[in-house]
Amino acid sequence: MLELEQVSKKFGATYAVRELSLSVARGEILGFLGPNGAGKTTTMRLITGYLAPDRGSIKVGSYRVAENPLAVKRMIGYLPEDNPLYPFFRVGEYLQFIAGVRGVEKGTAFDELVARCGLKEVWRQNINTLSKGYRQRVGLAAALLHDPALLILDEPTSGLDPNQILEIRQLIKELGEKKTVILSTHILSEVEATCSRIVIINRGRLVAEGTLKELTRGGRKKLEDVFHQLTQEEEDQDGNKIKNET
């Protein structure tokens, strides 16, 4: 479903993403991890076509992002961390507007999605009066309206209470049965509970990938310890890893 081949992106003299190669299979829920500044958001923006790589290629389904950006955008649902919404729209107005932009007709599937995202009770409420948790739900519903094959979620449970987190986790699991999902989060327990495979990047480079069992050596190590060890390594000027012994 998704292939990145030797993708690099620089801002000035600094690499945000450096020679990154990874693949995500159809129906897989991928946990995309890394510390702040590791290049996660840049990578997601490259996949969605909001940014263009300096080198390398990205393929979604049968389309290369550089050659068919509109076709790729039709296949992707994206919930960015900052979740941009039109604050003075009512929830219903906003979702109907997004549906119109996407060419989605209002019908049973639309109503079911609204219900699954728990938005019925705030349907007529202005977005600027919603809690952060409800704004996250609106953003998730907007990302799902056109039934995308690839769903990219950047911190989707930010601001949700424990019950809402469990509901969204369950929804992500259900979506993963039919869609490919990339989940970026700092909550490692969320990845452990939801994801079928995990990728960890640091300083724009891939440092580990595998199932939870593979990365934790069958459960003999904690994921947080694996993450800490891999993301505390430093690099010299040539990009060679220097292990931190502290």
- Residue pLDDT, tens place only, 142-177: 999 998 999 999 988 877 788 878 888 888 888 888
Mean pLDDT value of segment 96-103: 90
Mean pLDDT value of segment 197-207: 94
Mean pLDDT value of segment 174-194: 88
Q: Mind listing the domains of the chain with CATH numbers?
A: 2-83+148-242 (3.40.50.300)
Q: Three-class SS of residue 91?
A: helix
Of 9, 70, 21, the residue nearest 45 (C-alpha):
9
Structure tokens at 102: 């996407």
> Is a pLDDT exceeding 90 seen at residue 201?
yes
The amino acid present at 19, given as its one-letter code, is E
pLDDT band at 233 (very low <50, low <70, confident <90, very high): low
DSSP E strands, 50-189: 55-60, 63-64, 76-79, 150-154, 180-184
pLDDT, position 112: 86
pLDDT, position 246: 29
Tens digits of per-residue pLDDT, 13-33? 999 999 999 999 988 999 999
pLDDT, position 27: 86
Q: Please give the Cα distance from 31 to 185 (Å, whole number).
A: 8
Tens digits of per-residue pLDDT, 107-141? 778 888 888 888 989 999 999 999 888 888 899 99
Whole-structure pTM value: 0.86
The amino acid present at 23, given as its one-letter code, is S
pLDDT, position 207: 94
> Is a pLDDT exceeding 50 seen at residue 245?
no
pLDDT, position 242: 46
Tens digits of per-residue pLDDT, 55-95? 999 999 999 999 999 999 999 999 998 888 998 999 999 99
